[in-house]
Amino acid sequence: MRLELGKINITDIQFAEESKIDNGVLYVNAEELKPLVLEDEKIKDVYFDIARPGESVRITPVKDVIEPRVKVEGKGGVFPGWIAKVDTVGSGKTYALKGMAVVTAGKIVGFQEGIIDMTGLGAEYTPFSKTLNLVMVCEPIEGVKQHDYEPAVRKAGFRVAARIGELARELVPDETVVYETQTFKEGIDKYPDLPRVGYVCMLQSQGLLHDTYVYGVDVKQIIPTIISPTEVMDGAIVSGNCVSACDKNPTYVHQNNPVVEDLFAQHGKTLNFVSMIITNENVYLADKQRSSDMTAKICRMLDLDGVIITQEGFGNPDTDLIMNCKKIEAEGIKTVIVTDEYAGRDGKSQSLADADVAANAVVTGGNANQLVILPKLDKVIGTLDYVNVIAGASDHTLREDGSLEVELQVITGATNETGFGRLSAR
C-alpha cells in the first residue's frame, strides 16, 4: 500500500469567530464545535480551552489525545468505523495537522486517567507538553454509567478532530512523506538480501474500560491479523481504554507509532519491513495461548527474520508479551521486546510480572514507579478532584503547597511502550 502523508505545521491555536487555518495558525470557533460534542445525550456540557507549550497549565484527568487528519484522496476516510465507513484505508493521500492535538478531559471515567503538564518537571516526561493542545472538557449527565460515558467522550473527540482536520483539505502541505509497502512477493524480489522484519503490536483489551478498536471492532473480538501500517495512520486503530496513563497508547500514538516510523525509515535500506501484525492482550490463559500461537504462526508464514514486539499496559499483559516473544523465538525468529518497568520506587523490584530466557533483547521505557514532585501550576484545565485517586497517586498526592507527589504512572505517555517518549535505561 502507498500513502502520501501531507504534514501541515500548526504554530498556534486561537479562538475566533471563524474556524480556519491561516499561515500556520489554527483558528477555532468553539461554539461551532460544541454541538458536535453534545450530539451524544450522555454529555451534559462541554467547554474548550487551549494549552500551549511552556504555559503554567495542568490538564487532568486526560482521557485521549488525537491528531486531526483528513483523507484527501483515496478510499475511505479517517477513523473508519467511527467517523468514516469501514472501507479499508491506508492508501492515497492524507493530511495531518502537526504540532497540535485534540485532548479529551473532564470528570473521571476510570481511575487510570492521567496528567499533562505544559511546563515544569512533569512536562519533561510527557510528549504532549510539546504539542499545542485544544482541550475539550466534558461534563456527563447525572447518573451515567462509566462504560457509557467513556465511548460518548471518545466518539466526541473523534468528531471534533475530524472537523478540525477538514479545515486542511484545500491547503498545500508544508511537507509530504510517502510510506509504501510491497506485497510479500514484491518485497522478496525487490530486497532479496535484506532481513525480513515484522512488527507485532499488542493492543490493550483486558476487561471493561480496557478497550482498543480496529475499524470500530473491539480488539477483544479479534484474532491476530495482518494490517498495513499505513492503515493505522488513517485512524484504523483508536484508543478506548483507561489503563495507566504512563503506558497507555492514546489514539495520537497509534497515528504516529514510532516503531512504524523507524521501520519505514530503514525499509529498503537495512531491512525489508514486511508487515505489521496486531494481536490482543487477554484475561484467560486459553485466550493468551491461542493468540500467541497464532501470532507466532503468522510470523513463520511470513518467513520473518526478526520481529519487534510492543505491549500496552503492565502486569497481566506481561504474560502475553513473554508468550509472544518465547513462541516467535522458538520459530527461529529473533525478537526485540519493548516494554516499561514497575520496579518499585527504589527500582529494586522485579520489573515485569513474567520473564523467560528468550526475552534477551529488551528496550525499556523507564520505571513507572519512579517518584516525582510536580510543582503547583497557575491553571488547571479540567479538575484536581480526582488527583489523589488516579493510578500512581495516593492520599497524600495533593500537598498543602499545591504541588503533587506522584509516580510517573500518572503522567500521560511518561513510560510509553512504543518508545513514544524520552525515557529508557541501560
Q: Which of 138, 201, 242, 325 is catalytic?
A: 242
Which positions ≥6 away from 145 have C-beta within 8 Å? none
The yes-or-no answer on residue 242 being catalytic is yes
Place of cell 529498503: 268
Place of cell 533483547: 361
What distance in Å separates the CA atoms of residue 175 and residue 76, rounded to the nearest whole number? 22
What distance in Å separates the CA atoms of residue 369 and residue 346, rounded to the nearest whole number? 8
Place of cell 450522555: 42
**Would you say 365 and 340 are in contact if contact means Cβ atoms under 8 Å apart?**
yes
Listing DSSP states for 43-97 in one string gives: EEEEEEEEE-TTSSEEEEEEEEEE--EEEEESSS-SSBTTTB-S---SSEEEEEE
Query: What is the CB-side half-sphere exposure of residue 59 using CA atoms within 13 A?
Result: 34
**Would you say 281 and 297 are in contact if contact means Cβ atoms under 8 Å apart?**
no
| φ, ψ at 342 (rounded to 5°) | -120, 80
192: its cell numbers: 532479496
Query: Three-state SS for 319?
Result: helix
Place of cell 486542511: 168
Alpha-carbon distance values, 180 to 107, 183, 299, 372, 422 (Å): 41, 10, 20, 42, 28
What distance in Å separates the CA atoms of residue 70 and residue 166, rounded to the nearest whole number? 6
The reply to whether omega before 61 is within 30° of 0 (cis) is yes
Amino acid at 400: E
The runs of H, that is alpha helices, within 95-239 are 121-125, 146-166, 184-190, 229-233
Query: What is the CB-side half-sphere exposure of residue 105 using CA atoms within 13 A?
Result: 30
- Positions annotated as catalytic residues are 242
